[in-house]
Structure 1
Amino acid sequence: MRTVSRRGALGLGAGAAAAAGLAGCGTLMPSDASSHAAGSKNSPAPVRPLGDGSTSFTGKQPHQPTKPVPLEPGQAPPQFVVFSWDGAAEVGNGLFTRFLDLAKQYDAHMTFFLSGLYLLPESKKRLYDPPNNLRGASDIGYLTDEHIRATLKNVRRAWLDGHEIGTHFNGHFCAGTGTVGNWTPQQWRSEIEQAKSFVKEWRTNTGWTDLPALPFDYDKELVGGRTPCLLGQDNLLPTARELGWRYDASSPGGKQIWPEKRQGLWDLPLQAVPFPGHSFEVLSMDYNMLANQSINSTNAPSYNYPAWRTQAAESYIAGFRRAYETNRAPFFIGNHFEQWNGGIYMDAVEKALAYVAREKEKGEDVRLVSFRQFVDWLDVQKPEVLAQLRTLDVGQQPVGGWKSFLKSTATTSSSAA
Structure 2
Amino acid sequence: MSLHRQPAPFRARRVWGTSVALALVLAGCAAPQEGDAQGAASETSSSSAPAPSASAPSDAGSASPSGSTGTDASETAAAPSSSASEDSAGPTASADPATPLAARSHEGVPMRAYAADERPPQFVLFSFDGGRQDARWKTFMDAAEDSGAKFTVFQTGINLIESANRENYAAPGNEPGYVGTELGGDAAEVAQRIGNINAAHAAGHEIGTHYNGHLCSPTPHGGDQWTTAEWEQEYSTFEEIITDPGAFNPGSALPALDITPEDIKGGRLPCLDGQWDQLVPMWKDHGLVYDTSRSASATGVAWPYQEDGIWQFEMPIVWSPVLAEQGKPSPLVMAMDYNFWISGNGGKDDPADTARLTAFQQRTYSYMFSSAHAGNRAPLVFGNHFNDWGLNAFNPAVEQTMREVCDEPDTYCVTYQQMVDWLELQDPAVLEAWRAQPRSATGDDAAALG
TM-score range, shorter chain: 0.7 to 0.9
Say which of 263, 266, 271 aligns to 1:221.
Answer: 263
Q: One-letter code of the match for 1:343?
A: N
The structural deviation recorded for 1:384 is: 0.9
Q: Helix, strand or coil: the match of 1:166? A: strand
Q: How far apart in 1 are the matches of 2:42 and 2:382?
A: 20
Q: One-letter code of the match for 2:140?
A: F
Name 1:132's counterpart in structure 2.
173
Say which of 358, 363, 372 aligns to 1:314.
Answer: 363
Q: How far apart in 2 are the matches of 1:380 and 1:265?
A: 16
Say which of 305, 323, 327 aligns to 2:372.
Answer: 323
How high is the TM-score relative to the length of structure 1?
Answer: 0.80
Closer/same/farther in 2, CA of residues 207 and 367 from structure 1, 3 Å limit: same
**CA displacement, residues 120-139 of structure 1 (integer Å, 9 cap, x when unaligned):** 12333222221122122101
Q: How far apart in 2 are the matches of 1:7 and 1:334?
A: 18
**CA displacement, residues 188-244 of structure 1 (integer Å, 9 cap, x when unaligned):** 11100001111111123334786542223x221011010001111512222112322
The structural deviation recorded for 1:176 is: 2.9
Say which of 336, 340, 347 aligns to 2:389.
Answer: 340
Q: Is the 8 A contact 2:344 2:360 kept in 1?
A: no
Q: Helix, strand or coil: the match of 2:105? A: coil
Name 2:346's counterpart in structure 1.
295
Q: Helix, strand or coil: the match of 2:394? A: helix
Q: How far apart in 1 are the matches of 2:292 and 2:347?
A: 23
Name 2:33's counterpart in structure 1.
2
Closer/same/farther in 2, CA of residues 8 and 329 from structure 1, 3 Å limit: farther
Say which of 286, 292, 312 aligns to 1:249.
Answer: 292
The structural deviation recorded for 1:117 is: 0.6
Say which of 93, 99, 102 aligns to 1:59.
Answer: 99
Q: Helix, strand or coil: the match of 1:351? A: helix
The structural deviation recorded for 1:352 is: 1.3
Q: One-letter code of the match for 2:33?
A: R
Superposition pairs for residues 188-227 of structure 1, below 5 Å?
A: 188-207=231-250, 212-216=255-259, 218-227=260-269
Q: How far apart in 2 are the matches of 1:129 and 1:207?
A: 16
Gaps of 5+ in 1: 26-38, 46-56, 398-417
The structural deviation recorded for 1:141 is: 1.6
Percent identical pairs in the alignment equals 28
Closer/same/farther in 2, CA of residues 84 and 9 from structure 1, 3 Å limit: farther
Say which of 145, 154, 157 aligns to 2:196.
Answer: 154
Q: One-letter code of the match for 1:155?
A: I
Q: How far apart in 2 are the matches of 1:6 and 1:264?
A: 34
Q: How far apart in 1 are the matches of 2:222 and 2:243?
A: 25
Q: How far apart in 1 are the matches of 2:238 and 2:221?
A: 17
Say if 2:308 is the partner of 1:277.
no
Q: Is the 8 A contact 2:244 2:256 kept in 1?
A: no
Q: Is the 8 A contact 2:121 2:377 kept in 1?
A: yes
Q: One-letter code of the match for 1:60?
A: P
Deviates more, 1:325-334 or 1:2-11: 2-11
Name 1:400's counterpart in structure 2.
none
Gaps of 5+ in 2: 1-31, 35-39, 49-55, 64-70, 77-90, 325-329, 443-450
The structural deviation recorded for 1:64 is: 1.0
Q: One-letter code of the match for 1:166?
A: G
The structural deviation recorded for 1:265 is: 0.3
Q: Is the 8 A contact 2:354 2:393 kept in 1?
A: yes
Q: How far apart in 2 are the matches of 1:124 and 1:168?
A: 20
Closer/same/farther in 2, CA of residues 40 and 5 from structure 1, 3 Å limit: same
**CA displacement, residues 97-150 of structure 1 (integer Å, 9 cap, x when unaligned):** 111111111111111101111111233322222112212210112121222112
Name 2:118's counterpart in structure 1.
75
Deviates more, 1:78-87 or 1:248-257: 248-257
Q: One-letter code of the match for 1:199?
A: I
Q: One-letter code of the match for 1:188?
A: W
Q: Is the 8 A contact 1:14 1:280 kept in 2?
A: no
Q: Is the 8 A contact 1:273 1:316 kept in 2?
A: no
Q: How far apart in 2 are the matches of 1:277 and 1:76?
A: 31
